[in-house]
Structure 1
């Protein structure tokens, strides 16, 4: 009989691993390097000055492992990943949450699903990062367990953990990755930010709901990190750009859906945002609990080109969030697991940048590639985009 309970010893081991592998708090003493990845290849733009990011979201591996249907969805998802990687040939990949359907996994093999997920990335030796979603926290799986497994089996994983005390309970996956113009550059021109929006359920016999928003401690961390970056590299304006990835859309995005224009904001718009579909909405009393994160992200991270989320499988549009004057994009439901509907299809979202991205007026191109090999929803995200 399968055990659905993580022992206290196992949880303690995970906590110890978390403390060991957590990213160090960068301070004035180590400003000269400011490199969180001294033992990994530097992530750089291509020689032609371009940089492509491909996002796989909501893969939902591990559904219904007790019958034929579930494992077949994982086969289909892996096939889509390999197809998209062949067509897109990205420079970097983001796995934007809900890698695993945690409520369906067994304790004995839950984290080994990560091996299957990262296999296509390992095959083509492409650097990548992960965020984690509400389905990645459950009775037999946690964000930290997935992160530790990914770090173990994927040499080019750039996923890491925030320092202890940042991210709230069951939300360790907050970090940033620097991207340089070339291997000799002294400072990055692009920062990729990754935030843990938590959600789901805590592990063990006394499982309880986990808050589904980016914890307020992350706001303080953003303030600290941007201050250190500014001291080391100079102010961000016309110096470096940023992109942010978080699984559950910020609460502020809910109202944006009511003003979409299908010409300016093309893409599937089949999920009506509401309870459970944006941060801090599993309980209406919690609405706005991500305000500290959202405000700090947009006031401290200058030249923020776009914020990217998954979670709502039926949405794939981009639009400007007016209160913070920032562009938001849904990525595309990639996995054959997870809910879907006829005609939605599965696919990926890509972003194409070039080294002029440091200019606050510069934009980036984005589009969706679907499983039949066609592209759609192409937009150019710049200061004029609404």
Structure 2
């Protein structure tokens, strides 16, 4: 009897080992299929040469900002968000797509990133990723995420200098319509994560001093090369700067503000560095799903994107922000697209059939002579 029981137990263990092995094999097969699909989509071309960003012949450059997608692998809700992204891309035909954090928040994290990226590769439009506080809470570190996505077709994301904090601190150079000369810059920053548990330093980490020093040095370099004239620039982050609180209630601030600004408690001075460097015209963030407002503080716009994901809190709708730069001028237009009504708890996802450019702002004209 004892021998019989041991035999049954041994068989049960073998069966469980087989189940575990098969589950792992299924993940591996899916992973390989995704890799093969990406290879087929890219047509087997050599994409070591990254796409060149350039103003068009009309002197315009259009960026679509998606934020807080919170993509989950093998989820019908996330699949419906991919449809939203495809529709915005087809409608706006942007020159660049920027995701400002909390992009993939999923188990099977590597497969999730590969699955998510297929839509962008198929679009054949340059794209860039900034990490959010939730991206690094699953199975991959920030560095491992970068190792997964950097070098994908049409992807301009860079891990950034190893000697400064974070992953994904980099600059995108937009060339002139008539030459290879830089005409505008896009600064991308890793705004890190939150403190778990909360400490007396606050809830969220801050932009590190070595990141700010890196920005200042890069700005000085580009300004010097441009005959001592700062190039028009934008900045993209995930967690908003503390200064976002200062534009609430101003008569020139437009858009929805339905939650507290969840910024670091400690202000490390990135905004001040931008004031002194005189290149950044606007900062674009995500993180707070019930905010999509934009305002101006001392000639720098502070703006939220519009939350995109279906599996996130928030009830102001789902969509994107569009930004259109003008060559050789410190000018840009920006607006919100609201494509879906959304309620995660009630599983509401209803198309708005709305083509309106909501909360349209023309910088600097919308703020000239009106700032308090």
TM-score scaled by length of structure 2: 0.76
Does 1:50 find its partner at 2:60? yes
1:319 aligned to 285, 292, 295, which one?
295
In the comparison of the two structures, how many residue pairs are matched?
305
Partners of 1:144 and 1:172 within 8 A in 2:
yes
1:192 partner SS:
strand
Q: What do residues 48-98 of structure 1 show as CA deviations (whole Å, max 9, x unaligned)?
A: 221110000000012xx6xxxx81221111010001111111111101111
- Give the match for residue 59 of structure 1: 69
Q: What do residues 23-42 of structure 1 show as CA deviations (whole Å, max 9, x unaligned)?
A: xxxxxxxxxxxxxx992232
Structure with max Cα Rg: 2
Does 1:97 find its partner at 2:71? no
Does 1:232 find its partner at 2:225? yes
- More displaced, 53-62 or 218-227? 218-227
How many angstroms apart in 2 are the aligned matches of 1:256 and 1:267? 12
1:166 aligned to 133, 154, 164, which one?
164
2:254 partner SS:
coil
TM-superposed CA distance for 1:315, in Å, is 0.8
Does 1:365 find its partner at 2:333? yes
- Give the match for residue 112 of structure 1: 111
Partners of 2:132 and 2:193 within 8 A in 1:
yes
TM-superposed CA distance for 1:252, in Å, is 1.7
Q: 1:379 to 1:230 in 2, by over 3 A?
A: closer
TM-superposed CA distance for 1:267, in Å, is 1.5
- Give the match for residue 272 of structure 2: 295
Partners of 1:136 and 1:200 within 8 A in 2:
no
Greater strand share, 1 or 2? 2
- Give the match for residue 269 of structure 1: 257
TM-superposed CA distance for 1:234, in Å, is 2.5
Q: What do residues 303-357 of structure 1 show as CA deviations (whole Å, max 9, x unaligned)?
A: 32211001111111111124xx41111110011122122xx11000001122132
Higher relative contact order (CA 8 A, sep 6+): 1
How many angstroms apart in 2 are the aligned matches of 1:383 and 1:374? 24
Partners of 2:322 and 2:335 within 8 A in 1:
yes
- Give the match for residue 195 of structure 1: 189
Partners of 1:44 and 1:179 within 8 A in 2:
yes
Consecutive unaligned residues of structure 1, counting only runs of 5 or more, are 3-36, 203-208, 282-286
How many angstroms apart in 2 are the aligned matches of 1:243 and 1:149? 26
- Give the match for residue 181 of structure 1: 176
How many angstroms apart in 1 are the aligned matches of 2:181 and 2:203? 37
Consecutive unaligned residues of structure 2, counting only runs of 5 or more, are 1-18, 21-46, 197-201, 340-351
Partners of 1:219 and 1:297 within 8 A in 2:
no
Partners of 1:112 and 1:149 within 8 A in 2:
no
Q: 1:118 to 1:260 in 2, by over 3 A?
A: farther
How many angstroms apart in 2 are the aligned matches of 1:215 and 1:303? 20
- Give the match for residue 320 of structure 2: 348
TM-score scaled by length of structure 1: 0.73
TM-superposed CA distance for 1:162, in Å, is 2.2
Partners of 1:138 and 1:201 within 8 A in 2:
no
Structural RMSD (CA): 2.4
TM-superposed CA distance for 1:46, in Å, is 1.3
TM-superposed CA distance for 1:115, in Å, is 1.9
How many angstroms apart in 1 are the aligned matches of 2:48 and 2:273? 28
- Give the match for residue 205 of structure 2: 212
How many angstroms apart in 2 are the aligned matches of 1:166 and 1:219? 9
- Give the match for residue 283 of structure 2: 307
Q: 1:265 to 1:294 in 2, by over 3 A?
A: closer
Superposition pairs for residues 80-95 of structure 1, below 5 Å? 80-95=84-99
